[in-house]
Amino acid sequence: MNDFIQTIQTIYKLKDLNRTGWVHNNIKNPESIAAHSFGTALIAMFFSKKCGVNENTCIKMALIHDLQESIVGDYTPFCDITEEQKHQKEKDAAKILSIGLDNNEYLNLFNEYELNETDEARFVHDCDKLDMLLQAFFYENEQQIDLETFFSTCQLPKSFQPLIDVRKSIDLLRKK
């Protein structure tokens, strides 16, 4: 039980770890990694049925998709680390967390998300991106700043039309 408590204590750090992209863009009161995971899970819950994917799997995957960042931190594409190094560090951290949680489901969901080969994994990846786009839109409006880089570098594949429709709505609202 002590391993579980220590692991949860590590994971709970995500409540206080701010997302790196927002910090680098001088966002006031940037969201935490935990808040981002919550937003991603909400999007998964609201759109999973409309997109024909397993709701339960997607919500769980969205909630755990960044747990490993409690150990390795939040890397952005602009950090000085290769994609391979990032994935290896995250994979190692996920293994450590799964031992403390004594739960294979977490590691299975993490691996499914990382491989990005199932419809559920692809959907959660898109929910992850959509949450970031929504947050960028909110920050632009609240803090009167330009976060165009986030919008121009984030593409949603043409797989899940309801998510694409939200993206289009964001783009239209930004033009006003």
- Say which CATH number the domain at 11 has: 1.10.3210.10
DSSP state at residue 12: G
Q: How many domains does the chain have?
A: 1
Q: What is the domain range of residue 124?
A: 2-175
Q: Confirm if 67 and 97 have CB atoms less than 8 A apart.
A: yes
> Across residues 10-26, what is the average pLDDT?
95
Provide the pLDDT for residue 1: 67
- 100 pLDDT exceeds 90? no
Q: Confirm if 47 and 99 have CB atoms less than 8 A apart.
A: no
Q: Confirm if 106 and 98 have CB atoms less than 8 A apart.
A: yes
Tally the C-alpha atoms within 13 A of residue 56's C-alpha that lie toward its C-beta: 1
For 59-86, what is each residue's pLDDT tens digit? 999 999 999 999 998 877 777 788 888 8
